[in-house]
Each structure stands twice: as structure tokens, then as C-alpha cells.
Chains A and B, each alone.
Chain A
Amino acid sequence: MNIPHKSVPIADLHREPLRHLLTALADDHLILGHRHSEWTGLGPILEEDIAFSSIAQDQMGHALGFYTLLHEHLGAPDPDIHAFTRQETEFSCCQLVEWPIGDYDFSLTRHLFFDLAAGLRMETLSLSSFKPLAQLATKIRGEVKYHMFHAKTMVNQLGNSNDETARARMQTAINRQFGLALGMFEPRLGEQILDDAQIAPIESKWRERWLEALNAVLDGSGLHIPDPDRIEPVYGGRNGYHTEYLQPLLNEMTEVFRLDPQAEW
């Protein structure tokens, strides 16, 4: 992702809220890209393996884009140091992305939930008054369009399958992670300030659009979402509270890098 290396002036009032937003986006994409990459070479069929690996690489590329914005405009360390040296509590990813890959039904459903949200986020952020973010979001949008084509096709066809077990697996996967998915929209610190400045909307606006879009995607698939008002969103991730899965993931991800973080790898 090529981001013009030019820092633009940011009002003091916006700096912290913007840092929270970009770190959440960066960490979400990094951790999910990492999880998705666990399928590479082990997917259900060669063609799907290749497609899913591209999606994993895209997520990783998007993460790099967000870390680069943090580095260039908000004084964060360089992306490798930022991503590969922090502890669990310093991460602000949502808990949805931390969970192990499970079976393919779990990973596919998470891919649908996450990319549907990412698509909506990028659509709004491409109009952000913070121009570097608007540019990055515009670039990401096309890639997410493909992710959604893939996710929609797979989930719809599995939902409409003649195979009862497959339909049940998909419905279970949806039910199991729905609260986690709602956790993607945990309110961020200072989100109203960014909304007022037309940098980024508050999370509840995205949540509302996501629910609408999700119902539209699943329409005709035979699958349905639980009543969102009866499901407790799993919050905490944005404030550094994570599942038992994140720290082991980080230990693994940084195993080589930590041998010598100053070395060039």
C-alpha cells in the first residue's frame, strides 16, 4: 500500500481519538489476516485455498496501511515495531478476530461478518475529512468488494445446500459468533469528536448499517441472524481486554522477530 509520506496537520483535539480509530482498524486487520493465513496450504480445495490466502494477504496489507498512517501522522513507531513488539493489553482489536480458526464454517462466517463491516467502514472513510485516511480507504474498498463477493457466494450456497449438516453448521457458526461480531462496534474513546469533525462516524452508526446489510446478504440463504437486542455484544477488545487466545497468538507471531527486534530480517 503506497501512502504519500507527508504528514498533514491534525488538530490536538482529534489526535487521541484518531489514534484509537486507526489502532483499532490496524489491529483488527492484522490479527484476522494472521488467523486467515493459518489456512494457507490446508484449505478445503486448492482453488478455495488460493482465494482465501489472497484475502488473508489483503487483510495484512490493510493493517500495514493503517500502521503506516499511525507512524507518519501520529508519531507511532514504524509498522514492524508497532505490530511485532506490543503486549496483549496494548492491542485494541475486537475479540472476534482473536478466536482460533476453528472449522471452515467458523472462519467463513467470521470472514463474512468482518468484511461486511470493513466494506461499510471503507465506504464512509473514503469520504473522511482526514485525507490520508480517505485515500487509503478508497484503495482498500476494491479489495473488500472481492472479499464480499467471495463471502456472499460461499455463505449463500452453503446456506442453500441440499446437505442438511452443512446448513446446520453454518447456522451454528452464525449463532456462536454473533455476540463477538457485535463487539466489532464497541464504542471508541472520543468517537463523537471524530464524528463531529467528519473524520469517522460513531460505531453505533456503522453497527446499524451492518445489521441492515447483513440481513440483505442472508436474505434467501436460508440462514438468519439472532435478534441483536437479545444478544450481549462482546466488548473489551478496544480497551485492551482480550480472550485467552490473543497472547499465545502474539507469542507465536513475534517468535522470530523477538530474537532481535533491532536486526534486519
Chain B
Amino acid sequence: MYGGGYIPKEEARKAVVNDDPEMLAAFEERVARGEKVEPRDWMPTEYRRQLIRMIEQHAHSDIIGALPEGTWITRAPGFRRKLALMAKVQDEVGHAQLLYSAAETLGKSREAMINDLINGKSKYSNVFNYPAKTWADVAVIGFLIDAAAIVNQVANSKGSYGPYCRALERICYEESFHLKQGHSVFVYLATGTPLQRSMLQDALNRWWKPIMHFFGPSDEMSEHTLTLMKWKVKMATNDDMRQQFLSLYVPKIQELGLSLPDAELRKDPDSGKWLFGDPDWAEFFAVIRGNGPCNAERLAVRKAAEVNGAWVRKALQQADARYVTPLA
């Protein structure tokens, strides 16, 4: 699960172009022909840096994303829901594993990535810094946040970096199971008892703002953004993805007679675009800076998992062990 289109301004300013112009031209021709870039290919410095940042954040989002839903693992009602939620959260851990592996092929070790996560240096999707207060939150996360993630991931799976595309291909397949199981919980609550329905409406009201934030604010169409689009690192604009998500899923929410907490939300018949009220970008930036309701907890938990498992990893370590960059 991920919404990683947003590139902070200070990141964009770091881009320094001092690559060999001939190599750069050959690289850009390859990408323009629709060929994939593979791990040991020559690549522009900024291409490598942005891909590591993006894939790593995507991986962090999955491992941290296991926590809000994990909140309900021990309380899922009934065998089917319990098994499905266990499998779903397990898949998120599995996706993190696939994505860290893809990022490793670019030359950053998994340890370095996890260090950057638990030290707060590297970000993950803001949406996972919100709490899952009731069982209905599992429905909203599983249905709508996974749906948003699919929009993002399907776009990225057509990018230029081979290992990332291959990981996303499998991830998208598994996310379609998540979406179905999330939709199932969502529909059961929406069509269930008054209590179930009110739980769901309440969860929807609380999650709508983070969902609107999911794809990030409108992209600044800077030269940097355009270069990343040319290199097929960034595959769609944040606004386009948000519009696609709204078109696909608002009707599915409304058909169940549920409401969304935005009086201005409607489709403009002339432009075909969705209009919405101010999503409160100030809050988005505050959460990125670490001031969301659950940032501290999420990082502390991830750190605790690493620290508590350290003795197992250390004890199993072989004396002749040596790290090499994985192949693909």
C-alpha cells in the first residue's frame, strides 16, 4: 500500500546533473524505446537516487502499513475474517520484503534502509500515521486505501526500472485480493445492523481526509518533475491519480447510501473532473514532519521489532557470511 508520488521541494533541489552526456543520451533513448533498465546498467545519478528514495519509501509504507490493520488481528470477528486479515497483513510484510529487495539491487542495503526508517530520516505514506479505532477501520483501509494504492502501483508498474516493475506486478495481483476482502467487509458492515453501519460511517468520516491526502498535493511541474516523468520514474501526476481514484470509488461508496464528509465533493459535468473542498494540506505537511497522531508509535514499534529480533538474527549468522548485492 502506498502513495508516494509526492516529492518534497528540498529533494528536488538536491538534483545535480553531472552525468556523462553520451551515456545519458543512450540511457534516455533506451527508456524512450520502452526498454527496461536493469540493476547493473549505467544510469543517471539522479535516477538511481530517486528510485532508491521511492522504492524504499514504498517498502517502508508496507511494513508500517502492517501496523494499523494489525491492530485488529487478535479481534477479527469469526474465522473467515480472522484468516483473511492475517493473510492480508502477512502480504503487506511480504510486499515490504519484495520492495526492499528491489531497492537493494540499486546498491542500498536493507539494514541501511531500515536504519533510515527508524531514525526518521526516510518517510513512508502518511496515511499509516492515523489510528485504526474500530473494526470498521479495517474495512476502510482494506477497501479504499488498498484501492488508492492499486491506482498508484499499477501506474508505477509500467515504469522503467525492471526489478521494481517485477515486484509491482506481483504486488498488484495480491492487492486485488486485499481490495476484494476489504470491499467484502465494507459491504457487510454497510448492509448490516444499524450498529455496524454507524461504525462504518464513522470510520469513513475519519479516514476521508487522509485518503484525500494519499496521492499528495498537486505536482509542481518543475523541470525536475518533467525529467522524472521522461525517465519513467514518475508515471502519473498526483492529481490524475486522485481523479482516477475518485471516479472509480466514490460511486461505490455512494451506492451503499454512505456519505462523505466533504460538502463540496461532486463531479463537474462540464470538465468531468471531481471537485472537492480544501483537504487541509497544512495537516498533510505536519504529519510528514512527524506530528501525526501515530508517528511516534509506528516508529517505536518498528524499532522494537528490530531490536527484539536482533538476538535471533545474530545467533543464526554464519561466520563466513558476506553481503553481495542481489541480482534482480
In the complex, is A directly touching B at CB under 8 Å? yes
Which residues in A have some Cβ–Cβ distance to B below 8 Å?
34, 37-38, 40-50, 53-54, 56-57, 60-61, 63-64, 79-80, 83-84, 103-104, 157-158, 161-163, 165-167, 169, 252-257, 259-260, 263-265
A165 contacts across to B, CB distance below 8 A = 311, 315
Which residue on chain A has the smallest CB distance to residue B314? Answer: A163
Cβ contact of B83, chosen from A60, A167, A255, A265, cutoff 8 A: A60
| B312 A40 Cβ-Cβ under 8 A | no
The interface bits of chain B over 88-130 (1 if a CB of A lies within 8 angstroms of the residue's CB, else 0) are 0110111011001000000000000000000000000000000
B89 contacts across to A, CB distance below 8 A = 40-41, 53
A23 to B196, CA, bound (A): 31
Which residues in B have some Cβ–Cβ distance to A below 8 Å?
63, 66-67, 70, 72-79, 81-83, 86-87, 89-90, 92-94, 96-97, 100, 135, 185, 188, 192-193, 195-196, 301, 304-305, 308-316, 319
7 closest cross-chain pairs (CB), A and B: A44-B309, A166-B315, A41-B66, A257-B77, A265-B77, A53-B90, A161-B315
Asked whether A43 and B79 contact (CB < 8 A) given A38-B73, A253-B74, A265-B188, the answer is no
The dominant DSSP class at the A interface is helix
A165 to B312, CA, bound (A): 10
Asked whether A252 and B90 contact (CB < 8 A) given A43-B309, A45-B309, A265-B188, the answer is no
Q: Could you tell me the distance in whole angstroms from the C-beta of A8 to the nearest C-beta in chain B?
A: 23
B93 contacts across to A, CB distance below 8 A = 40-41, 43, 46, 49-50, 53
Which residue on chain B has the smallest CB distance to residue A164? Answer: B315
| A34 B83 Cβ-Cβ under 8 A | no
Q: Could you tell me the distance in whole angstroms from the C-beta of B130 to the nearest C-beta in chain A?
A: 17
A158 contacts across to B, CB distance below 8 A = 312, 315-316
| A42 B305 Cβ-Cβ under 8 A | yes
The dominant DSSP class at the B interface is helix
| A41 B313 Cβ-Cβ under 8 A | no
Cβ contact of B316, chosen from A50, A64, A103, A157, cutoff 8 A: A157
Q: Could you tell me the distance in whole angstroms from the C-beta of B189 to the nearest C-beta in chain A?
A: 8
| A50 B78 Cβ-Cβ under 8 A | no
10 contacts between A and B (CB under 8 A): A41-B93, A42-B304, A42-B305, A50-B90, A50-B94, A57-B90, A104-B309, A157-B316, A162-B315, A265-B78
Asked whether A260 and B79 contact (CB < 8 A) given A40-B89, A44-B309, A45-B312, the answer is no
Asked whether A83 and B79 contact (CB < 8 A) given A37-B74, A40-B66, A157-B316, the answer is yes
B63 contacts across to A, CB distance below 8 A = 41, 46
B195 contacts across to A, CB distance below 8 A = 259-260, 263
| A80 B79 Cβ-Cβ under 8 A | yes
| B308 A103 Cβ-Cβ under 8 A | yes
A44 contacts across to B, CB distance below 8 A = 305, 308-310, 312-313
| A84 B78 Cβ-Cβ under 8 A | yes
B74 contacts across to A, CB distance below 8 A = 34, 37-38, 252-253
A87 to B327, CA, bound (A): 53
Which residue on chain B has the smallest CB distance to residue A165? Answer: B311
- Name which of A34, A37, A43, A48 has the most chain B CB atoms within 10 A of its CB: A37
A39 to B193, CA, bound (A): 32
A259 to B75, CA, bound (A): 11
A254 to B72, CA, bound (A): 11
Cβ contact of B192, chosen from A42, A254, A255, A263, cutoff 8 A: A263
Q: Could you tell me the distance in whole angstroms from the C-beta of B153 to the nearest C-beta in chain A?
A: 19
| B196 A256 Cβ-Cβ under 8 A | no
A169 to B97, CA, bound (A): 28
| B96 A46 Cβ-Cβ under 8 A | yes
| B188 A61 Cβ-Cβ under 8 A | no
16 A-B pairs besides A49-B93, A158-B316, A260-B196 with CB distance below 8 A are A41-B66, A42-B304, A44-B310, A44-B312, A45-B312, A50-B93, A50-B97, A53-B90, A57-B86, A57-B87, A79-B79, A104-B308, A157-B316, A162-B319, A166-B315, A264-B188
